[in-house]
A and B are shown apart, each in its own frame.
Chain A
Amino acid sequence: MWHTLTSEQELLRDTTARFLGDRVPLSRQRKELRHDPVGFDPGYWKEGAELGWTMLLVDEAHGGGSVSGRGAVDLALIAHEFGRHAAPGPLVDCNVVAAALSGASAGMGQDALGEILTGQAIAACCLGAAPWDLPGQGALTIRREGGDMVIDGTVRPVESGAQARWLLVTGRGDGGITQVLVPADAAGVVIRPLGSIDVTRRFAAVTFEGVRVSADAVLGVPGEGAPALARQLQNAAVMLSAEAVGAMDAAFAMTLDWAFDRYTFGRALASYQAIKHRFADLKSWLEASHAVSDAAAEAVADGAASAMEVASAARAYVGEQGVELAQDCVQLHGGIGVTYEHDLHFYLRRVTLNRLLHGTPADHRRLIAALQIEREKAA
């Protein structure tokens, strides 16, 4: 994270950190929240929304507002705390959808935005088409039929799919990317909860069986949703990376302590050069992850021309190296690192899961390549 913050940003971060520490300490997530169908108490998400969790990417005219004028940077501070606390809650998708609806005209979109901002409703992204798809790929189709849009296909995993009231659905149609806002209780939407690798988060498979919505549910123009989707992926990248870096920070710190406390053959683990060198590598990955994650937040906040590329670089790098760091932390802990009683697995789960959402590292690497190929063509 950044070395210098404004006092308002520090307040935002510290308030969230305190709240998460009080409401969802790992001791609670380990036990009673583990089997909770939602993963958090009623009221937790609404109170979080009051702390500003869902408003930072939405402009003031639509009921949002940031602390520093750079909403994505402020939101990255929140996401970082989510990572450090392995906190539950649909932070990523709610903010992506809120930002996407920020420019929406009156009607259903405005209703949904109002509910997301106050934390009354949860939103989920059903990413059924993406810019890194290979030809013929893509899980959802959205076609025009009369005055309606008809959605077919299955997307999985969808975060908070079973808890969401609103679905931002992305699919192929009209010769390109089409996005529609769908109420989760629309006819033909079938939601099946899934088991997942993270005990703190909830996922579902969402199937659209000829789901019909009226044309005014379309965000933007049918077939021309690619630029809006790119912005959404950038926002997701900022949060997923910042969260992962927060989790990496926590895992690294606890492993470093362990290396000093644990003695073998009459010496601290930290005194072995083989271990020291391993920690040096981890430290370099951690610092690099901070750097590219922060850079992504800044580029996205500023709407820089490089935003997509830096955001994808953050997702590709942090996605890959975050998992390697967490697995090395397990290795350095030894057997205790794979026990449920230990805290480490919460962070391992967080980085492992974040690696896979809104594009895998491989997807983002291909996206970066496509951007470079475009650039060299233009040169």
Chain B
Amino acid sequence: MSDTMESVEQFRQRAREWIRANLGPIQPWDISQNCENDEEELRAVARDRALQRKLFDGGFAGLCFPREYGGQGLSPEHQRAFNEELVGHEFPSRFAVPTFSPCASVLLEFGTEEQKARHLPAILKGDEVWVQMLSEPGGGSDVAGITTSAVRDGDDWVINGSKVWTSRAWWADWGLILARTNWNVPKHQGLSVFILPLHQPGIEIHRIERLTGETEACQEFLTDVRVPDSDRVGEIDAGWTIGTRWMYHERLGSNSPYVTRPEGYASESPTEASTVALARRAGRLDDAATRELIGESRMLEIVTHELQRRLSSAAASGKGNTDTSSVDRLFRAMAGVRRSTIAFELAGADAAAWTLEEEDGHGAPGMRFLMRQVSCIGGGTTEIARNVIAERVLGMPREASGDKGVPFRDVPRGARRG
């Protein structure tokens, strides 16, 4: 099949023409993700589903997915070309992460034929939005230490426990869940992966209000949820094999070759005021110190982009490994922290208080600053990323752990997890 693959340049030309003919300009909700209220969010969701369907009907959905599941069987270079052509245009942003990466990527790698045939075309057509049910209230970065349990009962599994930080669970369709199926073995050896519809009796979904007032993330309480064994992904108790790839795809996130989103430096949200606009509003644009901050922010944006490009080309040439994505994760977080501090600094006192009309551009730097550390927490903290880089990339000795080789039921747990 590869010998008949369309050349990237030919494909780019075709994609450009199709995008220009079929997709409108990028919209605020494509990037900011969080709408003013639930009604707006649900309208944006419906629109994203329709856009995903449009891509599918146009032959541009799932470019790197095999044809038998509704994809196009093309290469990561084709996806990159498409993403580059997509700059400035609307796109189904709510499908990018986590539906395509990690969820669909994990299904493609580990799902049964039946699972893939059922779900991958549905995802590509815009019918299924997925969430990942990984983190638990009892612990974030120690993913293998989860306590949600799945117990075999005839042809079913019965799941009990709680998952947290699942963005969009309140309206999404399916979940990929990691659960403990064996408590008598060390923690990594007793995990399994399942898929389940989110909206069913036994799953109670609470929305978490973050300090900004935004309520996109959710917590799920699972009580005797029955999942047929045919919805198990991979072997029983082999969930960690999947889990490491799952987290690899999660770290790739929107840089995954399975994800469609505009590629390039100019990825700033159109609703966020640029650093230049912030400085101008504060009356400080011609100040040399201000210029340096504007330049530094843009510099970090460029370096972040180029680092990601370097690491993915290393992976493609076989010179990187899954652990080097932690370098990207760490850098992106630290650069993001600095850039949000710069925006806050440039806005000056205007970041503190604003009128309703000014809210989008004006108030945002203050709010983003309050939420600054999220980029260092979500998806595994930067402390964990530093451990991974030191131990697995640089080969330094591993940290002592209290759970190595210990049956999970005997692992010491804090009061909250007991």
Contact = CB atoms under 8 A, between A and B. Distances in A.
A362 B285 CA distance: 16
B314 A3 contact: yes
A367 interface: yes
Interface residues of B, number: 46
A163 to B, nearest CB: 34
Interface string A357-379: 00000101111111011001000
A376 B394 contact: no
B288 A313 contact: no
B306 A283 contact: no
A338 interface: no
The 7 closest A-B pairs by CB, nearest first: A365-B295, A276-B390, A280-B386, A368-B295, A291-B310, A280-B389, A369-B294
Interface stretch (B21-29, B99-107, B108-116, B297-305): B297-305
A368 B299 contact: yes
A365 B334 contact: no
Contacts of B334: 281, 284
Contacts of A198: none
A93 interface: no
Contacts of A370: 291
Contact of A281 (B292, B319, B330): B330
B385 to A, nearest CB: 7
B383 interface: yes
Nearest to A295: B306
A214 to B, nearest CB: 38
A324 B39 CA distance: 49
A376 B278 CA distance: 13
A366 B288 contact: yes
A369 B295 contact: yes
Contact of B327 (A287, A294, A317, A376): A287
A316 interface: yes
B155 to A, nearest CB: 46
B307 interface: yes
Given A284-B327, A316-B295, A369-B292, 9 more contacts: A3-B317, A271-B396, A276-B394, A281-B334, A287-B307, A295-B306, A312-B299, A313-B302, A369-B298
Interface in A247-279: 256, 259-260, 268, 270-271, 273, 276-277, 279
Contacts of B330: 280-281, 284
B394 A283 contact: yes
A291 B391 contact: no
Interface in B120-140: none
A4 B314 CA distance: 9
B387 interface: yes
B411 interface: no
Contacts of A277: 383, 386-387, 390
B413 to A, nearest CB: 22
Contact of B292 (A4, A317, A366): A366
Interface in B372-398: 383, 385-387, 389-391, 393-394, 396-397
B184 to A, nearest CB: 31
A284 B303 CA distance: 11
Nearest to A365: B295
Among B276, B304, B385, the most chain A Cβ lie within 10 Å of the Cβ of B276
B309 interface: yes
Contacts of A368: 294-295, 298-299
A245 B232 CA distance: 48
Contacts of B393: 283
A300 interface: no
B389 A288 contact: no
B276 A372 contact: yes
A373 B399 CA distance: 47
Nearest to A273: B399
Contact of A288 (B276, B296, B307, B319): B307
Given A290-B310, A291-B306, A373-B285, A276 B298 contact: no
Contact of B298 (A283, A295, A313): A313
A268 B395 CA distance: 13
B313 interface: yes
Contacts of A364: 295, 299
B274 interface: yes
A134 interface: yes
Nearest to A316: B299
B291 to A, nearest CB: 4
A366 B290 CA distance: 9
A317 B298 contact: no
B313 A3 contact: yes
B383 to A, nearest CB: 7
29 contacts: A3-B314, A134-B288, A268-B397, A270-B390, A273-B399, A276-B386, A277-B387, A279-B389, A279-B396, A280-B394, A283-B327, A284-B331, A287-B331, A291-B307, A292-B306, A292-B307, A295-B302, A316-B295, A316-B299, A365-B294, A365-B295, A366-B291, A368-B299, A369-B290, A369-B292, A369-B298, A372-B298, A373-B294, A376-B277
